[in-house]
Amino acid sequence: MAMDVPRSCSSLIILVLCFGMVVVAGCVGTHPVPQVIVSKRAQMHMGTLVTITVVSSDSSVGHRAMRAGFDEVKRLEQLLSTWRSDSELSRVNAEAGRSPVKVSQETLDLVARSLEMAKLTHGGFNIALGPAIDAWSVTEQAHIPDDKELQQLRPLVDWTNIRIDTEASTIFLPHEGMRLDVGGIGKGYAADRTVEEMKRAGATGGVVALSGDIKTFGVLPDRKGFPVGIRHPRQEGSLLAVVELKDEAISTAGDYERFFERDGVRYHHILDPQTLQPARTCQSVTIVAKEGTVADGLDTGIFVLGPEEGMALVERLPDVEAIIIDDDGKMTVSSGLRDRLHVP
């Protein structure tokens, strides 16, 4: 899910309708129940709308956690956003074909995790695909590149060429024109880090949502967790299902996020790195995992792998669940999620 490109609409809907501040309190018999304050704010960062919901027992704690959360998102944006020419990733891209660039531990960790996701999905997830995505111009000129044009890009989109030196804390792209874009994993990573900062500030529960990448912790008052609605990939405004999350993350990749149609064919932004053509076997893939980094990286990789190979991978991974809608609209749900899913 691209860090620096706003979605036409979110794939996931947080069913937490708390605007401003809500105070929940009461009594059980003669014993007062401690008040619970739920507050929610939204700001624009990382090219998208970032919404933070905080559950706390004190308004000052809630404000502190909210501020800590947004401060962390802004800090990571300065490191990872390729919209910013002064970010660490932009400097890595500017030095492609010339020299390694020293980066922070966060940037190094995220690129390393991205390469792990690439290996896990047999290259289905690829942070070096930017030049091929640009060639398609999905959101601009609706250009369909020919095979010759795409083949010329192959040396620039080979993720196995990315060089990480953990001892020197450097990243090197050996070919001029190569470019890293951690948009397909960066929002999930940012959500993970933001939740940790909110906990450190004293929040007892909450939600961090960077467009359609959502991380939750704790619970809402009188609920087991945080309900999240999953959008139907072909019926705008309709929910496919609702799942309640507790200390989990969720992310969706869909062919409806950025696309154009020509002669009855849908061309979208999720490319198969093997063909450099739009992946065709899924309409959407939703991943539920303990980490936002994992959920965000796997949804795209599994979209490319396809329903059968993708679900087989999910069933092998601990603490990972999936909802896959194939190209015919058939829904497949992983074994650990079937009893938790509510279909409207």
Are 315 and 334 in contact, with CB atoms under 8 Å apart? Answer: yes
DSSP, collapsed to helix, strand or coil, labels residue 62 as helix
Per-residue pLDDT of the chain (344 residues; tens, 9 = 90+): 333 333 334 556 555 433 333 434 444 444 554 578 999 999 999 989 999 999 998 999 999 999 999 999 999 999 999 888 999 999 999 999 999 999 999 999 999 999 999 999 999 999 999 999 888 876 666 789 999 999 999 999 999 999 999 999 999 999 999 999 999 999 999 999 999 999 999 999 999 999 889 999 998 877 778 999 999 999 988 999 999 999 999 999 999 888 888 888 888 989 999 999 999 999 999 999 999 999 999 999 999 999 999 999 999 999 999 999 999 999 999 999 999 998 87
Helices 183-200 and 105-120, axial angle in degrees (round to 10): 130
The identity of residue 160, as a single letter, is: T
DSSP calls for 283-298: EEEEEEESSHHHHHHH
DSSP, collapsed to helix, strand or coil, labels residue 146 as coil
- Phi/psi for 30 (5° steps) reads -95, 0
DSSP state of 338: G
CA distances from 13 to 148, 164, 209, 239, 253 (A): 40, 36, 9, 9, 14
Architecture of domain 88-181: Orthogonal Bundle (1.10)
Beta strands in the chain (DSSP E): 12-14, 20-28, 31-45, 48-56, 101-102, 163-165, 170-172, 205-210, 213-217, 226-231, 239-245, 249-254, 259-262, 265-268, 271-272, 277-278, 282-289, 320-326, 331-333, 341-342
Task: Supply 45's token pair.
Answer: 């960062």
0.85 cut: is pTM over it? Answer: yes
Half-sphere exposure of 197 (CA within 13 A, CB side): 22
